[in-house]
Amino acid sequence: MLEMTDVSKTYPGGNVALRNINIRIEQGEFVFIVGPSGAGKSTFIKLLFREVLPTSGSIRLNDVDILNLTAKEVPYLRRQLGIIFQDYRLLPDRTVYDNVAFAMQVIEAPYRKIKRRVMNVLDLVGLRRRAYSKPNELSGGEQQRIAIARAIVNSPSLVIADEPTGNLDPETSMEIMEIFQEINNTGTTIIMATHDKEIVDSMGKRVIAIEHGEIVRDELNGVYGYESEQ
């Protein structure tokens, strides 16, 4: 469960990115964050993993006040989240397997457990056969699948994605969305910022629209709603 109460963010220099955000997202929901460029979507996403701290307000994730964590506790928070970016952010000189296994190695999981789990998530994203390839030998869609496998390997309760299909063609984007749907089917919450009208309109999920830093719409079974932003 995610709860934001009266959250505002003004960046140093005075840019107001978010104003008075109040939102509650239950475990297992699938939520799109939409809005025009500069609306505050990325800032909203970054607040969730403490990449950015709000100027005021409170954020609770699974009943933990994430703004009151010590520096030591922040990595622990991030390990409970799966985070996916538009530009994949893979380690280029490591294999697909290593890119995914790395997230488990840092928490010192036993070798056998790592191997079993990495192969399972590579299966889920359809890349088991490419386990020993390097990222640059794969297509953009395949690289994003690796990033998704890495994000879910530690079974996070929440997966956060910022424009995950931004560099992909429509067909590949829909395949990626099928993987997100499968992850969501296991009870994992998904929060995704996107400009992709086709995806939002075809998925029929909760849609939270942000404009000028404010929530202007919050609909179950919503649509994209920003024609000029396709």
Ligand X SMILES: Nc1ncnc2c1ncn2[C@@H]1O[C@H](COP(=O)(O)OP(=O)(O)OP(=O)(O)O)[C@@H](O)[C@H]1O
Residues that bind ligand X (CB under 6 A): 11, 13, 15, 17, 35, 37-43
Closer residue to ligand X (CB): 34 or 183: 34
Of 54 and 135, which has the nearer Cβ to ligand X? 54
Residue reference for tokens 């934001």: 4
Q: What are the φ and ψ backbone dihedral angles of 97, each rounded to 5 degrees?
A: -55, -50
CA dist 194 and 200 (Å) reads 8
Instruction: Tell me how far apart the alpha carbons of residues 86 and 119 are, in angstroms, rounded to a whole number.
Output: 24
d(CA 41, CA 229): 13
- The rounded Cα 160 to chain-centroid distance in angstroms is 2
Minimum CB separation of residue 134 from ligand X in Å reads 29
User: Residue 110 CB, nearest distance to ligand X (Å)?
Assistant: 39
Q: How far apart are CA 144 and CA 66, in angstroms?
A: 28
CB of 140 to ligand X, least distance (A): 19
C-beta of 42 vs 165, nearer to ligand X: 42
Least CB distance to ligand X at residue 13 (A): 5
Cβ nearer to ligand X, comparing 144 with 194: 194
